[in-house]
Amino acid sequence: MKIEIWSDIVCPFCYIGKKRLEKALENFPHRDEVSIIWKSYQLHPQFPKDTAGIPAIDYIKNAKGLTEEETLGMMQQVQSIGKSLDIDFDFEKSLIVNTLNAHRLIHLAQETNQGNALKERLLKAHFSEGLDVNNHAILVQLAVEIGLDITAVEEVLTTDRFTYEVTQDIQEGVNLGLRGVPFFVFNQKFGIAGAQPLEMFEQTLRQAYDDAKPNIIMNNNEGPTCDVETGNCE
């Protein structure tokens, strides 16, 4: 069974959705038959590619017109959900950056079945460690840490390799009607929009395993997402 996931590294609900899917898979009897494919999406494609990251709190505060106290309060609920899933969200350290290069490296990692490992490492680096996941030296360090070949990593970062694939992922998501991330598609038929409850992932896994027809059937519910037009997460 194939699960395709559209998400961005700077999207907190993408991290939550990833963890909920993994928990659902823990109790899924056919988990060894599941293949996860990470699809790229950029919430902030307009952010300059060669600019250092800016504090996420400042970015969110300015985007929503909130005070810093209001912004931190808004993040508390997300942090609470994260703790239940062993995610240590530290929004005071997180940096908003352009994520194109990180997505390109995930494409590289998927060639050797290491896409999930790199995705997890990038999410942790961004949300828990406050690392700039657009900085080339940091990207090399993280990619090598999970086992990627340093020569291949540096080749990607010094060329435009996988840029086309990232663009294609985004367009494919748009064509499917993607309105927010995370967005999960099971066996090209069943879709989950947002970081929905664990039970929804468990139910969809069972449905998708039993039915492999090609058209996507969306459930009527949506979990919290990061909006693809504004970049806001709520």
Find the farthest-apart pair of alpha carbons in the chain and give their distance in angstroms, rounded. Answer: 49
pTM of the model: 0.90
Please calculate the CA angle 182-110-183 and round it to the nearest 5 degrees. Answer: 10
For residues 162, 165, 167 and 169, what is the CA-based torsion angle, rounded to 10 degrees?
-140
CA end-to-end span of the chain: 30
Tell me: pLDDT of 182 over 60: yes
Burial of 20 (0-12, 13-18, 19+ CB in 10 A): buried
What are the tens digits of pLDDT across the range 100-140? 999 999 999 999 999 999 999 999 999 999 999 999 999 99
Please give the pLDDT value at position 26: 97
What are the tens digits of pLDDT across the range 206-219? 999 988 644 555 66
What are the tens digits of pLDDT across the range 15-64? 999 999 999 999 999 999 999 999 999 999 999 998 889 999 999 898 88
Tell me: pLDDT of 146 over 90: yes
Three-class SS state of 210: helix
Please name the residue ranges forming H helices in 85-114: 100-110
Of the candidates 89, 87, 100, 93, which has an alpha carbon nearest to the alpha carbon of residue 135?
100
